Structure 1
Amino acid sequence: MNPLHRNKFVAAIVAVISLTACSTPDAAGEPASTTRRVTNAEHELVFHVLEGKSPALVLDAGGGLSSSYWKDLAPRLAKATGSKVITYDRAGEGESDEVSGPWRVENAVSDLEAGLRELGVTDDVVLVSHSIAGEVATTFVNEHPGRVSGAVLVDANVPDFFTDEMLTAFAPVVEKQKADLLAQPSTKKNRQLLAVMADYAPVHRVFHRRAWPKDVPVTAIVASQTPFTDSPEAAGLWRAAQERFAQARPNRKHVLAENTSHEGIVTERPDVVTGAVEDILKIVR
């Protein structure tokens, strides 16, 4: 792969990783909306809840994105399924506090677990996870067996993609990207990208060894345009990893969302995401 493609490949990799209650009166036919602030490990996280029945749908956006990513899909899912729908801002995103130090998926899982516990959602959860949130979902289902009934991964990171060969080949470019970010003004987005890039290879070698539990049904939705628009080689690796993941067990499904991009998939094809969630609910309810 030429150096230009390598730079764009790593930039895309970074991109994909990239208790006070306040209630809003429900409009006609709309579920009541509640905002909750939860403290975990001395930082505050913001959760938004649309009331409904179990299983609860927990929507988790990709790197650099907040709960606002789901602003149109969340009410659509609540109306279509009747489920409780939860969105939230991970640490450093949206209205949640920033946390210093490298990004660690274990910390993100701890934050999510603390929020769900505070909300009283202790079992029968369906995760709907985009991009880097796929790492949070994979780790959560392993660390909290029995809590998750099913999942929909929306063009999400899966362990199969992060091979040792891929991580080794692009390590020098990751270091250059870090240096470039450090030379720029310090913004919330840049700080989050740097946190994700810290110890990137060793962290993702660990993630590569993780496995999705055999008993948790999952649908992997894949955008027709991968995160790697300028690298056919990287795009091929991404597609192959998604297919391997989905084909590994009979309770997994692979869905191609036509005419979609990595980040825009939720707004470009909400019908595909909604349909996948409804199908998972038919299995777990």
Structure 2
Amino acid sequence: MVKNPVPLRRKAIALASALLLAASLTACATPTAASSPSSGPSSSSTSAPTSAAAPVEFQTRKVVNAEHELVFHVVDGKLPALVLDAGGGLSSSYWKDLAPRLAKATGSKVITYDRAGEGESDEVSGPFKVENAVSDLEAGLKELGVTKDVVLVSHSIAGEVATTFVNKNPGWVSGAVLVDANVPDFFSDGMLAAFEPLIEEQRKALMAQASTKNNRQLLAVLVDYAPVHRAFHQATWPKDVPVTVIVSGETPFVDSPEAAGLWRDAQAAFAQAGPNRKHVVAEGTSHENIVTERPEVITTAIDDVLKAVR
């Protein structure tokens, strides 16, 4: 039974767009090209430098899993490998400035990739399933020979992928940095119950629009949204895997201090729920642009994790 359903309903109505963003699909964003585009049909190619300030070379690798093709970009280096996973509606280009910086600063192998339906990777029909996203990431890392000493750097909806991945693959992940990411604590029964009718309204509105790649990805996430996230609410993080939780200053809820407080509380609760966890607030940042507004907060968190696991 939901307590105080009227206030929750009002909160959900006021924050429909923002909560979808918290679920990490940026409906209004147009996915940009991958940071290191493939130069041809081969399974491996080397791109031009991604940035004049950090002229490192990415190798583009195409991996097939479950009959669809995924695009990965790799800077070679030592282990632990940094695997950067962007939020919903965002491709590997999200990391175009940070990835070269990390490669140069850490000497680590750095991997970015486009999840199915994002960037240059193939679309997959049907609802978004985190298990499928995990399978795709597993396939790519196996192809790249990286099945241990992985540090996940996960933004927004990629927090759900990271949580599922680390539990499914014990021994693969040495540590993680969650960048304003979805954590299980946020998706309470009360919030989901209040928001459920709005999910249906949003779904109908999208169905009435012309079909686009971005709309199809949003619709895929909306399928069974409440039951999927009730299940995610029960997920836990392994005690032996260090994790740093970074929270943006604005949170995904720019227009609601109340909902922003719930987001911050959930992030803090997750960080306090086990050993080897840190909680960092990146003041002056927004949910989507945190990587460009305060990259040093993310690089410092990654450096701390690397020091702990090397």
TM-score norm. by structure 1 comes to: 0.96
Q: Distance in 2 between matches of 1:262 and 1:25?
A: 29
Counterpart in the other structure of 1:120: 145
Q: Distance in 2 between matches of 1:199 and 1:142?
A: 22
Contact 2:152 2:162 in 1 (8 A): yes
What are the ranges of 5 or more consecutive residues in structure 1 without an aligned counterpart? none
Counterpart in the other structure of 1:73: 98
Q: CA deviation at 1:230?
A: 1.4
Answer yes or no: is 1:185 the counterpart of 2:210: yes
Q: What is the letter of the counterpart of residue 56 of structure 1?
A: A
Contact 1:15 1:64 in 2 (8 A): no
Pick aligned residue for 1:12 from 9, 18, 28: 18
Counterpart in the other structure of 1:164: 189
Q: What is the letter of the counterpart of residue 135 of structure 1?
A: E
Contact 2:8 2:191 in 1 (8 A): no
What are the ranges of 5 or more consecutive residues in structure 2 without an aligned counterpart? 1-6, 26-41
Counterpart in the other structure of 1:153: 178
Q: Given the superposition, is the C-alpha separation of residues 5 and 29 from structure 1 closer, same or farther in structure 2, using an over 3 Å criterion?
A: closer
Q: Distance in 2 between matches of 1:103 and 1:128?
A: 20
Give CA-to-partner distance per residue, 1:51-91, whole Å, 9 cap, x none: 11100000000000000000000001111111010000000
SS at match of 2:59: strand
* Percent pairwise identity: 72
Q: What is the letter of the counterpart of residue 24 of structure 1?
A: S
Pick aligned residue for 2:250 from 209, 213, 225: 225
SS at match of 1:170: helix
Which residues in structure 2 correspond to 1:56-135 (within 5 Å)?
Answer: 56-135=81-160
Give CA-to-partner distance per residue, 1:195-218, whole Å, 9 cap, x none: 001000010011111100000000
Q: What is the letter of the counterpart of residue 17 of structure 2?
A: A
Give CA-to-partner distance per residue, 1:170-200, whole Å, 9 cap, x none: 1111111111111111111111001001000
For structure 1, which segment, 25-34 or 208-217, has the greater mean C-alpha deviation from structure 2 after superposition?
Answer: 25-34
Q: Distance in 2 between matches of 1:117 and 1:83?
A: 17
Task: Count how many residue pairs are aligned between Structure 1 and Structure 2.
Answer: 285
Q: Distance in 2 between matches of 1:4 and 1:279?
A: 41
Answer yes or no: is 1:239 the counterpart of 2:264: yes
For structure 1, which segment, 10-19 or 240-249, has the greater mean C-alpha deviation from structure 2 after superposition?
Answer: 10-19
Give CA-to-partner distance per residue, 1:227-272, whole Å, 9 cap, x none: 0111222111100000000111231000000100000000000000
Contact 1:167 1:201 in 2 (8 A): yes
Q: What is the letter of the counterpart of residue 81 of structure 2?
A: A
Q: CA deviation at 1:169?
A: 1.1
Task: Quote the RMSD (CA, aligned, Å).
Answer: 1.6
Pick aligned residue for 1:261 from 278, 286, 289: 286
Q: What is the letter of the counterpart of residue 109 of structure 2?
A: K
SS at match of 1:94: coil
Contact 2:9 2:195 in 1 (8 A): no
Q: What is the letter of the counterpart of residue 147 of structure 1?
A: W
Contact 1:8 1:228 in 2 (8 A): no
Q: Distance in 2 between matches of 1:73 and 1:254?
A: 21
Answer yes or no: is 1:21 the counterpart of 2:44: yes
TM-score norm. by structure 2 comes to: 0.89
Q: Distance in 2 between matches of 1:168 and 1:25?
A: 48
Q: CA deviation at 1:5?
A: 4.5
Q: Distance in 1 between matches of 2:182 and 2:276?
A: 19
Q: Distance in 2 between matches of 1:70 and 1:231?
A: 28
